[in-house]
């Protein structure tokens, strides 16, 4: 059954689909996918082509827009849009600490989650495309990890695509997770330096908070244990267009005076809890490194191992002298499964995924070199989340791909400058620019 309803200028329809858990076993277990279809109210009766949106992550459901927010208004000028909750996210069959025990123990949970990477997501898209479009190919817009999925789509099922649009999501075709993080830590350090140049008062504030956390056991209202390392991970904000400002405002209200002395304020703790908790997107933590797995080499907690090669990120060592505390960025570490109550029951499952040594290749360079689908990609200069050099190397591999390289936006350009970014990508893909 489908349900349609209205928002300002938009008609929305809830859609659900049943797909195999394992597409190589179509008669086996099935899962449910949820999607929200959107069309401009004044075009609801027209026969329009479809645009499929693949959200970043992994582990996030599609954006919940109100009306024609961000890029959606531009897309609705000429498309019907399908906002897909990728498997395990949003309203699709959930995968989290509450539901995964239904699979059995940690080993069964890890085997289940091995079906939640880009390869399965693309096969989901192909399984539902005929029902949505009547069999016609569709345009795909992939943001971040959604772009990784789009490159896999081009590698394996290009016949399903009329156009591919990618924002901040051109992956390396052959890098191991270790290569990804060796490129990431220097980039993160640059972002932190830029933040402190903008807000020099935050150098002392960040040190003061870290010193407090090294000497106090702080448990946030929702049960998250806030350690110095966890505090450093708030640097993930610096990958967004307004992230430096958000981090600054968070730090400036960190402490209050109490009868027992300075303490982290309730407001700071509440906001930090919301930023750090994986309760709403646990697959991000569980699958973040496996999205880079493409051979028999395990990822083996890559971000944690590679961080040891960059001792300037060690909070205790930094505070032993007078250097600025370095925040970290988009990385997942084993200690997160101890700090976060939404992840604690899944630690063994996460360890098994980190040790897994049977990942299959996700990209086909030869097929990409023979690509015939119009492709355009926004590459954000010095993107904190996706290495620019890796992205441009992939861009050179994909036949016919045109790039829009800009330093106007951070990783979230399709949100912060959505209509302009999407308009530019469409023009490039159509050879109109």
Positions marked active-site? 144, 358, 411
279: part of which helix (H) or strand (E)? none
Q: Which two tokens stand for residue 414?
A: 């399709």
Distance between terminal CA atoms of the chain?
Answer: 42
> Which residue's structure tokens are 């999407």?
422
Give CA separation, 409 vs 11, 111, 181, 383, 416, in Å: 30, 38, 22, 9, 7
* Range 309-314, long-range pairs (CB < 8 A, 24+ positions): 309/182, 309/185, 310/185, 310/186, 310/189, 312/189, 313/185, 313/189, 313/232
Q: Is residue 127 exposed (0-12), middle (13-18) or buried (19+ Cβ within 10 Å)?
A: middle
Residue 209 contacts residue 202 (beta carbons within 8 Å) = no
| Closest CA relative to residue 115, chosen from 21, 18, 17, 20 | 21
What is the three-class DSSP state of 167? strand
């Amino acid at each position: 059954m489908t349900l349609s309803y209205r928002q300002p200028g938009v008609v929305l329809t809830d859609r659900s689909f049943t797909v195999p858990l394992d597409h190589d076993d179509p008669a086996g277990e099935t899962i449910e996918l949820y999607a929200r279809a959107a069309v401009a109210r004044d075009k609801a009766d027209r026969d329009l082509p479809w645009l499929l949106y693949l959200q970043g992550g992994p582990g996030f459901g599609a954006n919940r827009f109100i009306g024609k927010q961000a890029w959606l208004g531009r897309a609705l000028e000429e498309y019907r849009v399908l906002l897909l909750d990728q498997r395990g996210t949003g309203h699709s069959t959930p995968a989290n600490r509450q539901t995964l025990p239904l699979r059995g123990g940690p080993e069964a949970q890890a085997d289940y989650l091995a079906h939640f990477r880009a390869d399965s997501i693309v096969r989901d898209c192909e399984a539902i495309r005929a029902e949505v479009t009547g069999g016609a190919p569709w345009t795909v817009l992939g943001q971040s990890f959604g772009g990784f999925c789009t490159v896999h789509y081009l590698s394996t099922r290009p016949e399903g695509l009329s156009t591919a649009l990618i924002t901040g999501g051109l992956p390396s075709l052959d890098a191991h997770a270790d290569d990804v993080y060796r490129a990431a830590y220097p980039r993160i350090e640059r972002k932190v330096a830029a933040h402190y140049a903008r807000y020099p008062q935050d150098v002392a504030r960040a040190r003061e908070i870290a010193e407090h956390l090294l000497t106090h056991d702080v448990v946030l209202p929702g049960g998250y244990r806030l350690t110095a390392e966890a505090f450093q991970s708030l640097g993930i904000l610096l990958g967004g267009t307004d992230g430096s400002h958000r981090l600054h405002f968070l730090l400036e209200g960190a402490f209050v005076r109490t009868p027992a002395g300075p303490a982290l304020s309730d407001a700071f703790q509440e906001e930090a809890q919301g930023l750090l908790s994986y309760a709403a997107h646990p697959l991000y933590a569980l699958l973040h490194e496996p999205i880079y797995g493409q051979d028999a080499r395990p990822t083996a907690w890559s971000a944690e191992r590679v961080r040891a090669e960059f001792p300037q990120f060690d909070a205790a060592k930094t505070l032993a002298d007078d250097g600025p505390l370095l925040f970290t960025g988009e990385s997942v570490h084993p200690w997160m499964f101890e700090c976060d109550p939404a992840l604690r029951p899944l630690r063994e499952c996460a360890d098994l995924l980190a040790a897994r040594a049977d990942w299959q290749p996700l990209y086909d360079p030869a097929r990409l070199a023979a690509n015939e689908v119009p492709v355009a990609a926004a590459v954000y200069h010095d993107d904190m989340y996706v290495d620019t050099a890796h992205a441009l190397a992939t861009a050179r591999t994909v036949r016919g791909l045109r790039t829009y390289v800009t330093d106007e936006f951070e990783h979230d350009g399709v949100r912060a400058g959505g209509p302009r970014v999407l308009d530019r990508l469409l023009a490039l893909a159509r050879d109109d620019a």
